[in-house]
Amino acid sequence: MYIQTVLERIQPQQLGVCACHEHLHIDLSRIKKNEDTCLQDTKLVLNDLKSFYSHGGRAIVEVTNDGMGRDARRLAEISKAADIHIIASTGCYKDPFIPLEKQDWDRDKFAEWMIREIEHGIDDTGIKPGVIGEIGSSLNEFKSVETELFHGAVAAAMQTGLPLSTHTTLGTCALEQIELFSREGIPMDQIIIGHQDLNDRDEMVLEALKSGVYVALDTIGKENYRSDEARIESLLKFVEEGYEDQLLLSSDLTRRSHLRAFGGQGYDVVLRTFIPALRERGITEATIHKFLVLNPQRAFSIRKAGGNSA
């Protein structure tokens, strides 16, 4: 097993404290029509990452994909400058962010394209993705192109062994995603279901955990959606039910205003405020180590190499 970063392959134990779902170079303004959703100032991002590093952060899973402003070369620059492992993504997001030229693709075309990126690198960079993600469904539904995208992502994941990380709009459709994965026969521990801290129905999240997938509580600090205190209450319940080995944490920064320089939560919010709050609620250091280190090591390891995905 190994983990593919933008610079090199590493052994899982080299990953360190890892944020499971972030964006370091993203532009959603084509669709959102809001310049705040264009976060592409490398100097500002690097400055914000200094605090992430000072709080112990050593790795970031960067789930910006095609259609979201992905720039693999820029990620490699950030990785070197910040001394942080970065895992890049292949795939597309969700409708309407899927690039226009891919809007009518079927599952086979999506799979072929993702496998090509995994084996040969993103565009002409030679930089290889280490995760398929964030593959998204819409609010309470799958659009037809999203269904094709999901099936293509599953095929690519099964051939190459890469982990598959999803987007659930406001936490919805997690169980529907899992049902699709189950029908396709992909190992559930190869899947990371995203944004489940936005799902306030704990019984649904527990059902997802029961299936064997990893669950990402990855919008920490976005209290306009849900308070971090509510997130902690849910997390405590999941731990009490025995699922501490399947939980991942992150903050999903997507806007300039999310940076500390503009009064936002910053990339360090999980380590700076959320983890201390968990300690105050009695979560042990061993369990915190799982959330931040051991679980990401397992979730983002490439279990088998298909074709030339080395």
pLDDT in tens, 233-274: 999 999 999 999 999 999 999 999 999 999 999 999 999 999
The pLDDT, as a whole number, for residue 304 is 74
- Banded model confidence at residue 303, pLDDT cuts 50, 70, 90: confident
* Residue 309 resides in a domain: no
Taking only the tens place, the pLDDT of each residue in 9-28 is 999 999 999 999 999 999 99
- 261 in a structural domain: yes
- Structural domain includes residue 307: no
pTM: 0.96
Does any domain span residue 205?
Answer: yes
Whether 126 maps to a domain, the answer reads yes
- Rg over alpha carbons for the chain, rounded to the nearest Å, is 18
CATH number at residue 138: 3.20.20.140
Whether residue 15 lies inside any domain: the answer is: yes
Beta strands, E only, 156-245? 164-168, 191-193, 214-217
Task: Identify the pLDDT of residue 307.
Answer: 37
Domain holding 160, by residue range, is 3-299
Q: Hey, is 55 helix, strand or coil? A: coil
- Average pLDDT, whole number, for the chain? 97
Alpha-carbon gap, residue 236 to 234, rounded angstroms: 5
What pLDDT, in 10s, does the model give residues 201-233?
999 999 999 999 999 999 999 999 999 999 999
Structural domain count, the chain? 1
For residues 69 and 212, give the distance between their C-alpha atoms in angstroms, rounded to a whole number.
32
For the segment 128-137, what is each residue's pLDDT rounded down to a tens digit?
A: 999 999 999 9
Residues 6+ apart with CB under 8 A from 246: 209, 212, 213, 214, 215, 295
Is 310 inside a domain boundary? no
DSSP 213-227: -EEEE--TT-TTTS-
Residue among 97, 122, 98 at smallest CA distance from 28: 97
Would you give the DSSP letter of residue 13?
Answer: G
Domain assignment of residue 116, yes or no: yes
Q: Residues 21, 104, 157, 310: is their CA dihedral positive or negative?
A: negative
